[in-house]
Every structure is written in structure tokens, then in C-alpha cells.
Amino acid sequence: MLTAGVELGAIAQAKADLCDEIHSVKDEFAVSTNLARVGGMDRMRDLLLTGLKDSGIVTQDQADAFNDVQDRLVEAGLMD
């Protein structure tokens, strides 16, 4: 999905790389904190990114870039 976004010009490779890194860390954080599933995917993403920011694992700029990539992939029809 990230590769397709880069190929379509929806996102830059650097943002795709950052998104991939944060996605991996986000998954690990969810498991390690035993964060309960709450609401839909958007709600879970917000809770996880907030936890990552509060823990100092990602910055606000990185979280914003992650959300921007997600939005651009939705706009490009690559994500729901």
C-alpha cells in the first residue's frame, strides 16, 4: 500500500518509510501495553499514537506525518 502510494505520487518515499517505521512500533506498543481494543480503527490509531507520543517514542511531527500519510492513502483509494 505504501509502495503504491509512492508510485502514484500520493506520498513521498521518506514519508512512506516513516509511516512503515511508526506502524511497526505502534504494533509492538499495542501488544506491550495490552491496550484494549476500543472503537474503530481510527480510534485505536489515535489512542496508540497518543500513547507513543506520551511515552516519547514518537514526536508530534512524526505522528502528524503518519496521519497525513494515512489520509493521503485514503484519498488515493488505497486504504479505507
The per-residue pLDDT for range 35-48, each reduced to its tens digit, is: 666 677 788 888 89
52, part of any domain: yes
32, part of any domain: yes
Domain span at 15: 2-74
Length reported for the chain = 80
* DSSP label at residue 39: S
**Burial letters for 62-75: b for 16+ Cβ neighbours within 10 Å, e otherwise?**
bbebbbebbebbee
Retrieve residue 59's grid coordinates: 514526536
pLDDT of 31 reads 81
62, part of any domain: yes
- Looking at the structure of the chain, the number of domains it has is 1
What dihedral angle (degrees, nearest 10) is formed by the CA atoms of 39, 42, 44, 48?
-160
80, part of any domain: no
64, part of any domain: yes
67, part of any domain: yes
50, part of any domain: yes
Q: Taking the model in full, what pTM does it have?
A: 0.84
